[in-house]
A = this chain, B = another copy of it.
């Protein structure tokens, strides 16, 4: 990774220079939180902390960055020297990845000298926002899929290569079985899936020839795409090929009336003795369609989930902010209508009723009584204080939280959870 110092907004640096000029270099705490959940989210999944910690180490200013900043003619030599020496030496408090979280809960809190923590704002929001947006979207498909496999097919329409790779990570945390994205597979060890596109079927002189060719190349992975020409015709061909001994693992439907086609394809496969062959559906899949199809009893075994999840199309952003809450031990808050903030470094306490979550309290850090504490001190003086969990552990942690979620929060209907700010 290169130096990330310029991954910030200009105003962070103008503010920082002015802070230094006016000796405003006391200890400050900034808090990252989501003011309000989107209408279509009952909870969020904390995600992106590992990436943030990696990036903090690379938030530095080298010759190239400083040369550019100097060229702007806005900054003093003293300030450019400050940036040359910059490295994050503060403390970072965070909710671990894979936790269920809500409005007004501090996901990340950063404490250090004021200019040091101010200039991280853009990087912190950008990094945690993306993965939290995607994990919080992906988990909704997981919740309605009744244990069926979900695979991330979204890479092509993610907002950039980086977004695609981190979305694969976030969706794996949220319960997906894997991804089509090879870079995410390599980088995070996520299982990868995929067979063929329509172009493959179109290249051969007949659909049948294409199916035979693919089964020959990848007998253990023989999933046939049925909807290039006529889906039911294609399903009949698959049955015929199976009778000849061609291996058949699954079939994929990527367009058309999925409710009708899934039933008819299943019937054709069953009648042809292919009861173990899986029906996989892709193309426009999201949690709303999954719920609809499954509520109607459509015989679908797995879903390829793509564009709508990877852009979080129904809620592509969160009202996530990084706000000053404490300076030199004193409370700091805004009072602007609708954008008021809560002062002080904070802990989140989670209270359970039986095995289910009952409510959370957001209290001043160090003044905790009862409840499960969600916020951990992760970095102290710029050094890692805890060992970050593996991806599988994060995924398991989320599964535990989901078991403890009140059932009404697990539906696609709007329900809210009580968060008390003390």
**Residues of A bordering B, CB below 8 Å:** 4, 6-15, 17-19, 21-22, 24, 28, 30, 64-65, 68-69, 72, 74, 114, 118, 121-123, 125-127, 129-130, 133, 153, 155-164, 166, 180-183, 185-186, 192-200, 202-204, 213-214, 216-218, 221, 227-231, 254-256, 307-308, 311-313, 316-318, 320, 322-324, 327, 332-339
Q: List 14 A-B contacts (CB under 8 A).
A: A10-B182, A14-B218, A14-B221, A18-B217, A72-B185, A122-B155, A123-B161, A126-B155, A160-B166, A198-B334, A203-B324, A254-B336, A256-B336, A311-B317
Q: Give every chain B residue within 8 A of A313 (Cβ-Cβ).
A: 316-317
* Cβ of A158 to closest chain B Cβ, rounded Å: 6
* Cβ of A340 to closest chain B Cβ, rounded Å: 10
Contact indicator B155/A185 (Cβ below 8 Å):
no
Contact indicator A336/B17 (Cβ below 8 Å):
no
In angstroms, Cα B55 to Cα A160, docked, is: 12
In angstroms, Cα B308 to Cα A89, docked, is: 34
Q: This chain: how many copies in the complex? A: 2
* Cβ of A73 to closest chain B Cβ, rounded Å: 9
**Option from B10, B195, B229 in Cβ contact (under 8 Å) with A11:** B195
Q: Give every chain B residue within 8 A of A74 (Cβ-Cβ).
A: 218, 221
In angstroms, Cα B217 to Cα A307, docked, is: 46
* Cβ of A252 to closest chain B Cβ, rounded Å: 10
**Option from B9, B156, B158 in Cβ contact (under 8 Å) with A159:** B158
In angstroms, Cα B332 to Cα A198, docked, is: 11
In angstroms, Cα B186 to Cα A183, docked, is: 27
Contact indicator B164/A163 (Cβ below 8 Å):
no
* Cβ of A50 to closest chain B Cβ, rounded Å: 15
Q: Give every chain B residue within 8 A of A11 (Cβ-Cβ).
A: 180, 194-197
Contact indicator A199/B9 (Cβ below 8 Å):
no
**Option from B30, B157, B161, B196 in Cβ contact (under 8 Å) with A317:** B157
**Option from B166, B199, B214, B336 in Cβ contact (under 8 Å) with A229:** B336
